[in-house]
Structure 1
């Protein structure tokens, strides 16, 4: 299985494990699949990632991929539903008809929570004071940035593998959060919360509908959940995070506010035009450092003129 290292990826892995079709897991970035730098074989199942014709099955829910791959939508190995709230929901819906008995330990609560997490259906209190499944989602999200600050007792990969088995045996979220390897990440999340807020206020620049968070000149990027800016700036419709990426590239990460939901702008389609992707409410593209300011200005203009 090849997927992203997040809550959605965890639940996808749990489903495949219950079906006894999970051998090993690779966690990758979507762009690595687009650029064909990951070795994919006819035994691999991809979830929440761009289409790769070498794979056995590819599950996705990103609208931009439907636009990118119009000619592939009838491919037998491509299962994509742009209306699904999570990739885990696409995987679950695909297998549940014929394998209901095997998926008995995949609870309705777990599926509701992964749908809520991947579609960011959070209220302001959940953003400011995350608990239970919301907190687990935030600490598992690579965009929170916990991995930059501590050599944890076990790696994120080993934690994911541990959680697959633990969550199948025990769906009690309070017990999951008390696992030592989860708890040390939770503790760090709350340790950095105020530092993250201060940094956000320092770099944030509002431009009509858009809030730009440009981290290119920051020596340290503190860990924190990516939705906090919407509770601090409740009137903005879209945020853009700008960070240094690999190979002298700049990553531009765009997301719609989950507090002010007035925007009709299609972020995935916008990112697709710059070689990236996503869905209507969130997306990412990587551009060269020389072009970053020009691309950023173009994106801001497109959003504000929408």
Structure 2
């Protein structure tokens, strides 16, 4: 196991992570340790496909393993299955039981650097754990407030970025939030920031349109709810958990959307209302070149294979 001494605390490192609430908290932790130089937000598949240039001054969080990085922090079970031979790698810190990658990073540094992490509050860590493991109740899904609302507007899967040229980019907002959340962790003040409020307002403006579209395209198949957006000209912004409130009996949802390079993205998630499913989504997605953890995962397949793969996945879930 790599030791904290591997990091030179007189140097700065690049954080490579996802552009979401978990990535924000990871950045806040590294910033407090005074080792954060810059941040690059990426999609997990770009790491898998080696599209991103990774070096020994990079710290990866919530992303697939890359042996070129200084450290890789993760909590996805599919990565443990994918990388069994690498679980003892010195630069690989993975805990499949952790509720968030931020929790893995925090646990790694807290023993030796507790004083530096004093501004990383217990409330913040609880909320990022809750967000990344989707531990929301029905009321929080239908009427999000406070940290839950912040998580939803930061989640790229909500789709706010498709509808407005915001005053500042999502990247600039993330950079702004790192400093603001360290100086002021009052969530009410955070939500009143003009660049946050702009996104909150759009979220609620599109809420009813999103519900109507969801009801239009949703098709239930035993345990599974399929939301196929391939023939939709517009995909409205909305909370990805809303379908579980509208269809409380289903166990798993599958979102099908057009991806890059004539690929189709198949995004699978377990209901956070009906939690009866024991199906391992991450392992299923791994078999199609994707990944995830037990409760959520994604894979991308070619357009001409999408219907076949979708049918196979539905059958696997319903026969589980």
With the shorter chain as reference, the TM-score category is over 0.9
Alpha-carbon distance in structure 1 between the residues aligned to 2:287 and 2:135: 27
1:233 equivalenced with 2:247 (yes/no): yes
Residue 176 of structure 1 and its aligned partner are, at CA, apart by 0.1
1:157 equivalenced with 2:146 (yes/no): no
Tell me the secondary structure at the aligned position of residue 36 of structure 2. coil
1:217 equivalenced with 2:231 (yes/no): yes
- Give deviations 1:64-120, integer Å, cap 9, x for gaps: 000000000001100000000000000000000100000000000000000000000
Question: What is the match of residue 277 of structure 1?
Answer: 291
Residue 23 of structure 1 and its aligned partner are, at CA, apart by 0.4
Residue 201 of structure 1 and its aligned partner are, at CA, apart by 0.1
Alpha-carbon distance in structure 2 between the residues aligned to 1:22 and 1:50: 20
Residue 167 of structure 1 and its aligned partner are, at CA, apart by 0.1
Residue 253 of structure 1 and its aligned partner are, at CA, apart by 0.1
Residue 42 of structure 1 and its aligned partner are, at CA, apart by 0.2
- Give deviations 1:234-254, integer Å, cap 9, x for gaps: 000000000000000000000
TM-score by length of 1: 1.00
Residue 142 of structure 1 and its aligned partner are, at CA, apart by 0.1
Alpha-carbon distance in structure 1 between the residues aligned to 2:33 and 2:55: 20
TM-score by length of 2: 0.96
Question: What is the match of residue 91 of structure 1?
Answer: 105
Residue 229 of structure 1 and its aligned partner are, at CA, apart by 0.0
Alpha-carbon distance in structure 1 between the residues aligned to 2:213 and 2:35: 44
Residue 143 of structure 1 and its aligned partner are, at CA, apart by 0.1
Residue 223 of structure 1 and its aligned partner are, at CA, apart by 0.1
Alpha-carbon distance in structure 1 between the residues aligned to 2:277 and 2:99: 18
Residue 24 of structure 1 and its aligned partner are, at CA, apart by 0.4
After the TM superposition, which segments of 4 or more aligned residues of structure 1 sit over 6 Å from their partners? none
Question: What is the match of residue 257 of structure 2?
Answer: 243
Question: What is the match of residue 144 of structure 1?
Answer: 158
Q: CA RMSD in A?
A: 0.2
Alpha-carbon distance in structure 2 between the residues aligned to 1:21 and 1:234: 45
1:72 equivalenced with 2:79 (yes/no): no
Q: 2:191 aligns with which of 162, 177, 183?
A: 177
Residue 292 of structure 1 and its aligned partner are, at CA, apart by 0.1
Alpha-carbon distance in structure 2 between the residues aligned to 1:279 and 1:213: 20
Alpha-carbon distance in structure 2 between the residues aligned to 1:292 and 1:71: 31
Residue 180 of structure 1 and its aligned partner are, at CA, apart by 0.1
Tell me the secondary structure at the aligned position of residue 285 of structure 1. strand
1:112 equivalenced with 2:156 (yes/no): no
Alpha-carbon distance in structure 2 between the residues aligned to 1:21 and 1:74: 25
Alpha-carbon distance in structure 2 between the residues aligned to 1:216 and 1:267: 22
Residue 47 of structure 1 and its aligned partner are, at CA, apart by 0.2
Alpha-carbon distance in structure 2 between the residues aligned to 1:41 and 1:151: 33
Alpha-carbon distance in structure 2 between the residues aligned to 1:278 and 1:184: 31
The alignment covers a number of residue pairs equal to: 306
Tell me the secondary structure at the aligned position of residue 239 of structure 1. strand
Residue 198 of structure 1 and its aligned partner are, at CA, apart by 0.1
Alpha-carbon distance in structure 1 between the residues aligned to 2:67 and 2:286: 19
- Give deviations 1:255-298, integer Å, cap 9, x for gaps: 00000000000000000000000000000000000000000000
Alpha-carbon distance in structure 1 between the residues aligned to 2:302 and 2:285: 14
Tell me the secondary structure at the aligned position of residue 291 of structure 1. helix
Question: What is the match of residue 9 of structure 2?
Answer: none
Alpha-carbon distance in structure 2 between the residues aligned to 1:248 and 1:84: 35
Residue 20 of structure 1 and its aligned partner are, at CA, apart by 0.7
Residue 225 of structure 1 and its aligned partner are, at CA, apart by 0.5
1:200 equivalenced with 2:214 (yes/no): yes
1:7 equivalenced with 2:18 (yes/no): no
Alpha-carbon distance in structure 2 between the residues aligned to 1:290 and 1:26: 33
